[in-house]
Structure 1
């Protein structure tokens, strides 16, 4: 058994040596792409969990996918029940790759810095989320209604409609007219078309204005978080 073990280790060493020689002669290229914000569900973070990769050497690619790059403290995560966040520089990831494959050429086509969020051990309180959603809907509904009423009062929409009705029909309005009715019908239709959203369905395939603004907000938050971590020295970077 010992002879077979030694023979197996010798063969592996020879294969590794051949691979190193081949890479030294014609180095392979690894294309690495990491998004600005990456969310994982495991404290043990591997390279395949955070990056999209393509390499000219399939064997190297398989090994790198299983490479562990960071470990969140499980005890702290379970105790706090909160999302753990860590800022990384892609140079640190490239450094860890070169520890195993020093001759591998790495081409980064993603972000230069990114945020790694760990949700392991975090449980969502569905009841609390429902309460927040209901309160938010109530606030938005009454807030929007109050805004529309104050706008109509400030610009004098009632007077405008009354004068318009008198000019077109030839007599004074006696309260609610066709203009007010069509105005009340057209306003929700216009809002629906503008926001491109009816429940879970969309009028068109284009992103809604809210989705566009939320995406901009998320990008600004991530950029600010990365810059603050870099200034405070909390970002994991190369020495």
Structure 2
């Protein structure tokens, strides 16, 4: 057995179109400094036009390429078995008009949802009855209950989503961020599974 080289594939990367992928682009490498500098520039894959938007690189293919170039080294894989490369993905600043339109739609939609919910559960009647129990008087608009309730509803939403505009209240992820993370994991798993099925068909 030769010198040990440990390779940990990155879970996902963003790359420009038709890029030549080297080992250092898709993996973390731990080895003797001389060996690391030598193998980190090993050519792994050429992104083609027919690859479209996603390329999945498997650790088996990567190690096979490395052993062809360096048969005297012992390559060990740790971490993920695939790297998902998103081709041609660039972050663009959102347009103010589109952001404003989406914000307006969400504002109206969420407002209608809250109002319909309160109507369904007869919130106004509940507050009127609560006011009568506490004061003994009938009041169709018990503002001393309704105003704090409305303020508390807004503060509760801020605490629930853990954000005030771009500022995070604490380090805990919000439920929305957790759901987005779970969705992204399921999407990545589907991409990997689909790629493995396509590879098996190609081998057959």
CA contact (8 A) 2:26 2:83 kept: no
**Number of corresponding residues:** 203
Cα distance in 2, alignment partners of residues 123 and 40 from structure 1: 9
Structure 1 stretches lacking a partner, 5+ long:
1-23
Superposed CA RMSD in Å reads 2.6
* Residue 87 (str. 1) matches residue 56 (str. 2): yes
> What TM-score do the two structures reach when normalised by structure 2?
0.88
Greater C-alpha radius of gyration:
1
Counterpart for residue 46 of structure 1: 22
Cα distance in 2, alignment partners of residues 235 and 50 from structure 1: 25
Cα distance in 2, alignment partners of residues 235 and 203 from structure 1: 49
CA contact (8 A) 1:31 1:54 kept: yes
Kindly provide the CA deviation profile for residues 81-138 of structure 1, in whole angstroms up to 9, marking residues without a partner as x.
x96311121100111111121132222112112311222xx666656x4444333222
Counterpart for residue 150 of structure 2: 184
* Residue 203 (str. 1) matches residue 169 (str. 2): yes
Cα distance in 2, alignment partners of residues 160 and 91 from structure 1: 64
Per the TM alignment, residue 52 of structure 1 is displaced from its structure 2 partner at its CA by 1.0
Q: 2:71 aligns with which of 91, 96, 102?
A: 102
In structure 2, do the counterparts of structure 1 residues 114 and 123 end up closer, same or farther at CA, with 3 Å as the change threshold? closer
Structure 2 stretches lacking a partner, 5+ long:
none
Runs of 4+ in 1 over 3 A off after TM superposition: 122-127, 129-132
Cα distance in 2, alignment partners of residues 202 and 125 from structure 1: 22
Cα distance in 1, alignment partners of residues 201 and 178 from structure 2: 28
Per the TM alignment, residue 33 of structure 1 is displaced from its structure 2 partner at its CA by 1.2
Per the TM alignment, residue 233 of structure 1 is displaced from its structure 2 partner at its CA by 2.7
Counterpart for residue 33 of structure 1: 8
Per the TM alignment, residue 71 of structure 1 is displaced from its structure 2 partner at its CA by 1.2
